[in-house]
Structure 1
Amino acid sequence: MRWEYRAVPLWPRLGNDADAMNDTGDVTSALNALGADGWELVAVEWLEEADAPGGRVLTGFMKRPVG
């Protein structure tokens, strides 16, 4: 089986703002929409990104079958 992959920024790290990090409603909706399109979440990682608040972005890695 062949796969295609996609990296999806889920949310930026907002310093010490724990309340913002705990608001997962938008992330849940985004992941459910991707799942409806056949994407499967396979990993989540904090990635360094200079333009992001706090310098890091939580990124989801998705895959789905090709064809």
Structure 2
Amino acid sequence: MIQVFINNCLRKILRIHWPDIISNNLLWERTNQIREEEKIRKKLWRWIGYTLRKAIKCVTKQTLT
């Protein structure tokens, strides 16, 4: 849902209107963006790695293992 909003904003910034339809992938290439799902996935894995390196007694590590 958030990706739709971001795509609409990018299209408005680039002044791409309805008759000039381009794919989302081309839109992301033109703006050097990556999908929000990928950003969230990277942050999630970074957090998991950070949590797994914590001390054994840490509550957040205990919930993951």
TM-score range, shorter chain: under 0.3
- TM score, norm. by length of structure 1: 0.26
- TM score, norm. by length of structure 2: 0.26
Greater relative CO, 1 or 2 (CA 8 Å, sep 6+): 1
Larger radius of gyration: 2
